[in-house]
Amino acid sequence: MNPKAPRGTFDVLPADARLRLQLLKIADELLGQAGYEPFETPVFEDTELFARGVGESTDIVQKEMFTFEDKAGRSLTLRPENTAGVCRAYVEHGMHKLPQPVKLWYWGPFFRHEAPQAGRFRQFTQLGAEALGSDDPSLDAELILLLAELLDRAGVGETRLRLSSLGTPETRAAYLDELRAYLHGREDALSEDVRARLDDNPLRAFDADHPGTRAVMQGAPHLLDRLSADDADHFADVRALLDDAGLAYEIDPTLVRGLDYYTRTVFEFESPRLGAQSALGGGGRYDLLIEELGGPPTPGVGWAAGVERVLLAAGEGEPAADSRIYVALAKPDAAREGFRLARRLRDEGFRVEMEQAGRSLKGQLRQADRIGARSTVIVGDVIDVKDMRSGEQRRASDADEALALVREVGG
RNA sequence: GUGGGCGUAGCUCAGCCGGUAGAGCUCCUGGUUGUGGUCCAGGCGGUCGCGGGUUCGAAUCCCGUCGCUCACCCCA
């Protein structure tokens, strides 16, 4: 056979793995400062959880889930997103009895059966944060600002923040009916593809290029004008906090996220560096989801960012240049002495590599150079410590003296 | 899922009016009997994505298939 990683999956090689680790550290620090705690849920759950949580009618549930049966015939699904799992865990562990809100963040693999492209995979990594148990608008704003800061520190460059509010499912449903009715009344002026999707995705008509459609949309009703007073106030509060923080955003009434559970605030960060997949991360409020999943009425808000997309937008990072020491062997029977020396140097906190590949001494020095060693310890009948930058070399009479010399030159 | 482009050494690619595989980089060795970064020489390394067809003969032509990629859709 010719083994290959399955379609839509990939191996993370060291250069990339290091960048991912850097992003993970940024997230840990940033979210930790705001009181978010790390946590994990399983990578698969009962299929029912996603069907109910994400929504039966969504693309994710209808065609993108990796579903399988266990040996007892239970239907399980590799998680396509995490909010449903988070809510399940919240209910299962009685987190409503903890001081609210409960703030959590996570990092892990997710799975969607899609046609892979740049920035789109079947197994991908999401980094996310959730705040459950309070509908305070400051949580919405806090999370949005945290994601903005995270993206900035990750080096993704310019982003566009789209923001909207969906109100309650009732207002949204009523609005969509109103919009459909409006569009049906002017069907003749609409483009063909807008007409084809009129019933399942009427909002799409807002971003059509078609002149006739655009003309029609000028007078179309907007969801934001149909929000209840409470929801409108909530949205105004969120915006005020973002304004205070100086974060730029665009109100986009056509922003619909692909999951059914959103209420009130929704947002999405986009990058021009990603091509067809412009979304770096996004999220929103889901005040009814936990109750829908059988828990007590509990509001929640959160986001997820695509790790691969963030890294793609950030471009090639500079690999951290950490200094190192190389232990070379001038003769094969110096191996035990060299091994001992390497261990002692590591005990002292140095980053140490040694000859373990049967290279000639010349090859070993070349290797020392390649890994960027500051000093090379050459073990033979005597021990020499070479400063790789100056090329100078000093002789030690024993291991202790060699260690002292290394400390002087540095590793 | 639909349509376009591509698939030759670890990497980047050349070869493609059919005659049975090359370069650069990387890696290893030597030039320097125990010494790097430059230079020189040599070497390792390829089921030419896979399967089938046409042909005396296919990396080169044809069909299928898989993979990558771009677009639509949707999203992280």
**CA pair distance A136, A313, nearest whole angstrom:** 32
Most confident of A143-147, A182-186, A267-271: A143-147
Neighbours of A30 (CB within 10 A): 17
Smallest CA–C1' separation from A276: which nucleotide? B71
Rounded mean pLDDT, A293-309: 94
Residue A319 has pLDDT above 60, yes or no: no
Contact A283, A302 (CB under 8 A): yes
Contact A377, A290 (CB under 8 A): no
pLDDT at A376: 96
Residue A21 has pLDDT above 90, yes or no: yes
Bridge partners (DSSP) listed for residue A383 = A379, A396
* C1' of B22 to CA of A14 (Å): 31
Percent of chain A with pLDDT over 90: 62
Largest Cα separation within chain A, whole Å, is: 95
**CA pair distance A327, A130, nearest whole angstrom:** 48
**CA pair distance A264, A165, nearest whole angstrom:** 4
The mean-pLDDT minimum among A174-188, A283-297, A362-376, A386-400 falls in A174-188
Rounded mean pLDDT, A233-259: 90
pLDDT at A2: 63
Contact A284, A76 (CB under 8 A): no
- Tens of pLDDT, residue by residue over A345-390, are 999 999 999 999 999 999 999 999 999 999 999 999 999 999 999 9
Contact A114, A213 (CB under 8 A): no
- Tens of pLDDT, residue by residue over A122-164, are 999 999 999 999 999 999 999 999 999 999 999 998 899 999 9
Query: Tokens at residue A48, please?
Result: 């029912």
Write the DSSP symbol of residue A94: T
Amino acid at A56: E
* C1' of B66 to CA of A2 (Å): 11
Rounded to two decimals, the ipTM of the complex is: 0.85
- Tens of pLDDT, residue by residue over A196-238, are 777 777 777 777 767 778 888 888 888 899 999 999 999 999 9
* C1' of B66 to CA of A113 (Å): 17
pLDDT at A1: 58
**CA pair distance A81, A59, nearest whole angstrom:** 13
* C1' of B42 to CA of A377 (Å): 30
Residue A286 has pLDDT above 90, yes or no: yes
Helix then strand count (H, E) for chain A reads: 14, 16
Residue A25, SS3?
helix
* C1' of B5 to CA of A281 (Å): 29
**CA pair distance A386, A368, nearest whole angstrom:** 11
**CA pair distance A373, A282, nearest whole angstrom:** 43
pLDDT at A94: 94
Write the DSSP symbol of residue A274: G
**CA pair distance A18, A14, nearest whole angstrom:** 6
Task: Kindly give, in sequence order, each residue whose CB lies less than 8 Å from that of residue A77, ignoring residues fewer than 6 positions away.
Answer: A44, A45, A46, A47, A49, A50, A65, A66, A67, A68
Residue A318 has pLDDT above 70, yes or no: no
Smallest CA–C1' separation from A207: which nucleotide? B73
Rounded mean pLDDT, A260-264: 87
Give me the residue label for tokens 């400051």.
A138
* C1' of B69 to CA of A280 (Å): 20
Q: Cα A6 to chain center, whole Å?
A: 21
Smallest CA–C1' separation from A119: which nucleotide? B76
Smallest CA–C1' separation from A358: which nucleotide? B28
- Tens of pLDDT, residue by residue over A57-115, are 778 887 888 898 999 999 999 999 999 999 999 999 999 999 999 999 999 999 998 88
pLDDT at A169: 84
Q: Which nucleotides of B are covered by protein (CB under 7 A)?
A: 1-3, 27-30, 32, 34-37, 47, 49-50, 66-76
**CA pair distance A284, A299, nearest whole angstrom:** 11
Percent of chain A with pLDDT over 70: 96
| Residue spans of alpha helices (H) in A83-228 | 83-92, 137-154, 169-184, 192-196, 211-218
**CA pair distance A313, A348, nearest whole angstrom:** 39
Amino acid at A80: P
pLDDT at A205: 78
Smallest CA–C1' separation from A121: which nucleotide? B76
Domains of chain A, first to last: 14-167+227-314 (3.30.930.10), 324-409 (3.40.50.800)
Answer positive or negative: Cα dihedral of A110, A33, A15, A39.
negative
Residue A283, SS3?
strand
Contact A36, A105 (CB under 8 A): yes
Residue A120, SS3?
strand
